[in-house]
Amino acid sequence: MQHSVPPMSEAVARQALLRFVASRCCYGSRAAGELAIQRLRQLGTYRYRLETFSESRLSEWAFEPFTSCRVPHSALVKDCHRCHGHGRSKCGVCHGAGRTRCVTCKGSRQRLKQQKRCQLCSGTGRKRCNTCSGRGSKTCATCQGEKKLQHFKQLVITWKNNVFEFVSEHHLNIPGELLSKVSGENIFKDENVVVYPIIDFPEPEISLASQRAIAEHSAAFATSSRILRQRQTIELIPITEVHYQYSGKTYLYYIYGLENKVYVLDYPERCCCGCTII
Q: What is the pLDDT of residues 146-166, one digit of tens each?
A: 888 888 877 788 999 999 999
Q: What's the total number of domains in the chain?
A: 1
CA atoms within 13 A on the CB side of 142: 20
Residue 70 lies in a domain: no
Residue 4 lies in a domain: no
Domain that holds residue 207: 10-57+159-264
Residue 251 lies in a domain: yes
Residue 80 lies in a domain: no
Reported as a single tens digit per residue, the pLDDT across 102-149 is: 877 776 656 555 567 787 777 788 888 888 888 888 888 888 888 888
Reported as a single tens digit per residue, the pLDDT across 221-251 is: 878 889 999 999 999 999 999 999 999 999 9
Reported as a single tens digit per residue, the pLDDT across 28-66 is: 888 888 899 999 999 889 999 999 999 998 887 777 777
Residue 83 lies in a domain: no
Residue 28 lies in a domain: yes
Residue 62 lies in a domain: no
**In whole angstroms, what is the distance from residue 111 CA to residue 102 CA?**
11
Reported as a single tens digit per residue, the pLDDT across 168-212 is: 876 778 888 888 889 999 999 999 999 999 999 999 999 999 999
Q: How many CB atoms within 10 Å of residue 274?
A: 11
Residue 276: pLDDT band with limits 50, 70, 90: very low
Residue 239 lies in a domain: yes
Residue type, 53: F
* Cα pseudo-dihedral 10, 11, 15, 17, rounded to 10: 10
